[in-house]
Amino acid sequence: MLITLRNILDIAESKNMAIAAFNATSLEGIMAVIEAAEEENTPVILQFANAAHGKYIPLEKIGKVMVMLAEEAKVPVCVHLDHGDNFDEIKTALDIGFSSIMYDGSALSFKENVANTRYARYIADVYGASIEAELGSMGAEGAEGNVMGAYTDPETAKIFVEETDIDALAASFGTVHGIYKSEPKLDFNRIEKIRELTDVPVVMHGGSGISDDDFRKCIDCGVRKINFYTYAAKFAGDAIRKMAAETNGNLYSHDVFVTARESMKETYRDAIRVFRNNKVSL
Ligand code: 13P
């Protein structure tokens, strides 16, 4: 069943948990996400980051499959555009049937970010969809493992949410995308303060490499959506390498795809269990 980000995050809020948001880059990835969520009987967010992954598969193709399989799923699924950076891309995703979009204006000035996010909110409303936006920047990790982006300031976040009326706020509090060079140090007080002042669900980007304990602390502070992808792709790569080493003779691509799907599904099931925050089942 396809539902909006707002509705899926309401479920998260009522249960003090976070909904997993996994990035898909292939049919195998989409199936892994939906099968993991169905086997865990837990809602899930299936997202596509066109800016990062459009070079592997076009939004117009993968998006249609995401929406179709989400509609058929036995659990609530939100289909979301991750890091939308222009209005054409946002409109394309909504035309395909995405129930939610992210507008990422984090590289812009505050004024421009507000103006563009307001317009993205207006577009999303036309389609009855939800919107996530970003303030501060997850950026990249520097040589010493420090986060290079700007942490989100809670007082500014309050004004940003009031001005834009977004459904969820991607905030920077110590996470970065991709593989961490050193142990991440998260600013839990910042999450609490942002939640207290804005009263919108906080989104964590860069979930790969965060400890289970830190995930749970973040959820207790108000994180309701956790973006997670790199580790699933990396572990699937490890599984393919192992499978290939054990293969005598020919290595077939269909076996590679199945191995990747099974591996991603296991990684996603583990993450969903942690993000459910001690609830045995929903
Ligand atoms: P990771 O790939 O680091 O898990 O982060 C995913 C993400 O934040 C997508 O927006």
pLDDT in tens, 85-133: 999 999 999 999 999 999 999 999 999 999 999 999 999 999 999 999 9
pLDDT of residue 143: 47
3-state SS, residue 187: coil
**What CATH code is carried by the domain that includes residue 173?**
3.20.20.70
Buried b (16+ CB within 10 A) or exposed e, 63-82: bebbbebbeebebbbbbbbb
- When divided into structural domains, the chain yields a total of 1
Residue 214 resides in a domain: yes
Residue 280 resides in a domain: no
Annotation-wise, does 237 bind a ligand?
Answer: no
3-state SS, residue 35: helix
User: Is the predicted pLDDT of residue 14 greater than 70, yes or no?
Assistant: yes
User: Residue 189 sits in which domain range?
Assistant: 5-275
Phi then psi for residue 271, to 5 deg, are -65, -45
Cβ neighbours, 10 Å, residue 282: 13
- Tens-digit pLDDT profile for residues 145-194: 445 568 999 999 999 999 999 999 999 999 999 999 888 999 999 999 99
Residue 282 resides in a domain: no
The whole-angstrom separation of Cα 279 and Cα 158 is 31
Mutate which of 172, 177, 226 for ligand 1? The one with the most ligand atoms within 8 Å of its CB, which is 177
Q: Which residues have C-beta atoms less than 6 Å from ligand 1?
A: 23, 49, 82-83, 177-178, 205-208, 227-230
Residue 52 resides in a domain: yes
Residue 281 resides in a domain: no
> Cα of 202 to ligand 1 centre, how many Å?
15
